[in-house]
Amino acid sequence: MRETLASKRMIQVLIVDDEPLFRLGLAAVLAEDERLEFIVSEAGDGEVGLARIAAEEPPVVLLDLNMPRLDGHAVLRQVKERWPQIRVIVLTASDSVEDRWRAEQVGVDAFVEKRHAHAQLSALIASL
């Protein structure tokens, strides 16, 4: 039996990624979750992402590392300094050990490869 929207737990999520199709697909996958209702907002680069975080203070940010203007490492560092309560999940196509290490040093909450994001994100967000 499918839960009604009224009984779903609501979670606000900001997707910060420079790939519009990835953001769209990820938002669609989150919308299909039967346990949680995601309120999704988006940003196409790190500067816009920081502005949205300052305005909305979403509890969860899904963050790409490789973006123009302001990369994900810089965004992650600022988020953890200014809003330590915000959970940040890094989404990246890179399997770089250095990228993972740098993100962990700043306090990333989770690190997910983009190719696995659709399968893992709903459960991961629910566990935070």
Domains and CATH numbers, the chain: 5-83+95-123 (3.40.50.2300)
Give the pLDDT confidence score for residue 6 in this predicted structure. Answer: 56
Q: How confident is the model at residue 1 (pLDDT cuts 50, 70, 90)?
A: very low
Spatial separation of the C-alpha atoms in residues 92 and 52, rounded to whole Å: 20
pLDDT average, residue stretch 45-49: 97
Spatial separation of the C-alpha atoms in residues 9 and 93, rounded to whole Å: 29
Condensed to tens digits (0 to 9), the pLDDT of residues 7-34 reads 678 999 999 999 999 999 999 989 988 8
Model confidence, pTM: 0.86
Give the pLDDT confidence score for residue 128 in this predicted structure. Answer: 67
Spatial separation of the C-alpha atoms in residues 50 and 52, rounded to whole Å: 5
Condensed to tens digits (0 to 9), the pLDDT of residues 97-108 reads 888 888 889 999
User: 55 versus 112: which is more confidently predicted?
Assistant: 55
For a pLDDT cut of 90, what percent of the chain falls above it?
A: 58
Average pLDDT, rounded, for the chain = 88
